[in-house]
Amino acid sequence: MSSLARRRTTDYAVKAISTGFAALSLVLLAWILWTLLSRGLPALGPHVFTNITAPPGAGGGLLNAIVGSLIQIGVALVIGTPIGLMCGTFLAENGRGTQIGNVVRFVNDVLLSAPSILIGLFVYQLLVVPFGGFSGWAGSIALAILVIPVVVRTTEDMLALVPIGLREAAFALGAPQWKVVTFITWRAARAGIVTGILLALARAAGETAPLLFTSLGNNGWSLNMSAPMASLPIAIYQYAASPFEDWVALAWAGALIITVGVLTLNVLSRLVLAKMK
């Protein structure tokens, strides 16, 4: 075989293998989704949304877990979003090119990828031990700590897309910085910032590990934020590992609900982001 023919063959072979790898990743994604649909859909009935968790065979649902998750995610967003938004703004407006800005950005990047179970352990030490018990508050704060770096990152990225001229125009009119930021830059980057919050929501919704040691889970109906609180991921974890068929089925139903929610949020945010850029 001539050298040229050999090089061509290598080229074709690598292209074929690479295409195969891409196809493989899509097949694996489809396989996971198919598993969720084929096992979760049959288990998904109205009882999942109307009944609270119950002993095996008693026809329990996931209502308390779903409500508990919604509450904790809601509180986490209320706590985490303003901090993340302000910190992202700090990085984009005040911290650009400064030493402190670089350090904050670096630390935020580390927090973004830090093991979420350690955030759970941290909040356990910080709140659960001193205040004498697992609570919905502790769970919410653990999730808030996961929300912050995501919001910081997207806020900074989105604000960086706002043209400098827009800010200069506002400053030239004598506007103070708080007005420039709130009325000009935030408004210009609104869609992107909201997308970041949605991504943070999606991340918080699927997290299990940080809730294990903070809100613990609760098999009864409780809206008390100072008591252990149920959540969907913890219920799934508890049920998936159980020997009871109806519990395992409920776990699959819960897994389907979470995944559909999280993937929908992700696809939506990516569509918005693609439009912005």
* Footprint (CB under 8 A) of other proteins, residues 22-81: 22, 24-26, 28-29, 31-32, 35-36, 39
Q: What angle do CA 82, 130, 140 make, to 5 degrees?
A: 30
Give the nearer residue to other proteins in terms of CB position, either 94 or 224.
94
Binders of other proteins in range 204-223 (CB under 8 A): 205-209, 212-213
Stretch that binds other proteins, among 49-57, 135-143, 218-226, 259-267 (CB under 8 A): 259-267
User: Do the Cβ atoms of 72 and 215 come closer than 8 Å?
Assistant: yes
The only residue of 64, 72, 81, 116 in contact with other proteins, by rule CB under 8 A: 116
User: Do the Cβ atoms of 236 and 254 come closer than 8 Å?
Assistant: yes
Size, binding site for other proteins by CB under 8 A = 90
Locate 245 and state its tokens.
Answer: 């068929």
Give the nearer residue to other proteins in terms of CB position, either 71 or 202.
202
Binders of other proteins in range 164-193 (CB under 8 A): 173-179, 181
E strand or H helix at 273: helix 245-276
Our finding on whether 255 is near other proteins (CB under 8 A) is: yes
Cβ-count burial of 160 within 10 angstroms (0-12 exposed, 13-18 middle, 19+ buried)?
middle
The only residue of 41, 183, 221, 270 in contact with other proteins, by rule CB under 8 A: 270
DSSP 144: H
CA 21, CA 28: separation in Å to the nearest integer? 10
Least Å from the CB of residue 261 to other proteins: 10
